[in-house]
Amino acid sequence: MQYHAFILKYAEIGLKGKNRYVFEDALMRQIKRVLEKCSGEFEVTRTAGRIYVEAENYDFDETVKALQTVFGLTGICPAVTVARDEDGKLPTPEKLAELVSGFMGDVYPDKHKSFKVQVRRVDKSYPLDSMELARDLGAAILESHPDFTVDVHNPDILLHVELREKINMYSEVIPGPGGMPLGTAGRAMLLLSGGIDSPVAGYMIAKRGVEIEAVYFNAPPYTSERAKQKVEDLARVIAKYTGKVKLHVINFTEIQMYIYDKCPHDELTIIMRRYMMRIAEMLAKKSDCMGLITGESIGQVASQTMQSLLCTNAVVESMPVYRPVIAFDKQDIVDISLKIDAYETSIQPYEDCCTIFVAKHPVTKPRLDIIEDHEGNLRDKIDDMVKKAIDTDEIIEITA
């Protein structure tokens, strides 16, 4: 059966107060954005508590896949809708029974299933109440299709019939990504590497309505052009959900080599990380971002112990650092990476700058005062190097 409509559900937005319309407007914009890239003709409308997509000449799988990238949606329901007549009246109970029986017959060729009818009567002027309608519609379905059976506790099919400004009939609720509509919570700067964790962190923060920019620290010739392409591909994964990602590519080679020459090698990763955070914060300020995002998880590697995180966090002066996977096990992160189709790209064997310059025996419990003291070895040239790195920032606009 080719459905001609989708009913789109949201949850958390419905808890908002007088500013609820702001979130609904943002959600509508994102729905229209993703549908513009789909084949077919779509009309998106909104009523209290529901968003409708009228669809013609479209590809079902393509459309559902696109809608599943819209943060804020919790349910995508392929539906049949029936408008009021010229007098503004809904179909009579008898006509409604005929429509519902036809729906069940068309959608389910195999009738050897159990079902339950759940009615929501928003239009209280309708002559029968919800319980009466559910009873009568169930009886009509059994009369037309006697191979069906009723199971009110654990049915194979839960048929929803809504009496609103129109009749809505649907029996499938395809999960949406949840979260909050993009653009309702400001902007943040993601430190994006070629690994598994940082794309997941970016996705999770974007899911809360945050627009994402990203910064990648490149180290040619120690990192290849293919490593850079890998990061662009990961940014493109995030852009499936955000529409676009502005990716800053910072040449970090000179800074890395200077740190390598001047600082203890067991502290290389921590000190390099501190300068990445400094540069990311400077870029974030220029872009009006309200925070940094990292994929750090406590104890996963030497640079992510509590002591190491304290040292890297200390250089960020003017904004919070969001670490959405901070308490996740690695498998938890991998599961989300697989879900958003980032995993196969993340595991490609192209090293980033942190991996290449890691010490054989990195310090796991660095002391902030000692790290700051050793950074004093860099004072002659490091500020000019940082300025040069920012001035030569390569900006790539990534779209899905």
The percentage of residues in the chain with a pLDDT greater than 70, rounded to a whole number, is 98
Could you tell me the pLDDT band of residue 17, with boundaries at 50, 70 and 90? confident
* pLDDT for the residue numbered 13: 83
For the cut 80, the answer to whether the pLDDT of residue 14 exceeds it is no
Residue 192 assigned ligand-binding role: yes
* pLDDT for the residue numbered 377: 96
For the cut 90, the answer to whether the pLDDT of residue 20 exceeds it is no
- The type of residue at 15 is L
When the candidates are 3.40.640.10, 3.30.2130.30, 3.40.50.2300, 3.40.50.1360, the CATH number that belongs to 5-175 is 3.30.2130.30
Residue 295 assigned ligand-binding role: yes
Could you tell me the pLDDT band of residue 93, with boundaries at 50, 70 and 90? very high
Give the span between the Cα atoms of 201 and 238, in whole angstroms. 10
pLDDT digits (tens, 9 = 90+) for 24-59: 999 999 999 999 999 999 999 998 778 999 999 999
pLDDT digits (tens, 9 = 90+) for 312-331: 999 999 999 999 999 999 99
Could you tell me the pLDDT band of residue 355, with boundaries at 50, 70 and 90? low
Helix (H) or strand (E) holding 235: helix 225-242
Residue 243 assigned ligand-binding role: no
For the cut 90, the answer to whether the pLDDT of residue 11 exceeds it is no
Mean pLDDT across 198-217:
97
pLDDT digits (tens, 9 = 90+) for 145-180: 999 999 999 999 999 999 998 999 999 999 999 999
Domain with CATH 3.40.50.620 in the chain: 187-399
Q: 82 - beta bridge partners?
A: 167
Mean pLDDT across 291-312:
94
Q: Are 141 and 100 in contact (CB under 8 A)?
A: yes
Q: Are 161 and 100 in contact (CB under 8 A)?
A: yes
Q: 246 - beta bridge partners?
A: 213, 397
Residue 273 assigned ligand-binding role: yes
Could you tell me the pLDDT band of residue 361, with boundaries at 50, 70 and 90? confident
* pLDDT for the residue numbered 5: 95
Domain with CATH 3.30.2130.30 in the chain: 5-175
In sequence order, the 6+-apart residues with CB closer than 8 A to the CB of 156 are: 113, 114, 115
Fold classified for 187-399: Rossmann fold (3.40.50)
Q: Are 40 and 56 in contact (CB under 8 A)?
A: yes
Residue 182 assigned ligand-binding role: no
For the cut 80, the answer to whether the pLDDT of residue 255 exceeds it is yes
* pLDDT for the residue numbered 357: 65
Mean pLDDT across 221-230:
90
Determine the length of the chain.
400
The percentage of residues in the chain with a pLDDT greater than 90, rounded to a whole number, is 88
Q: Are 291 and 188 in contact (CB under 8 A)?
A: yes
* pLDDT for the residue numbered 353: 61
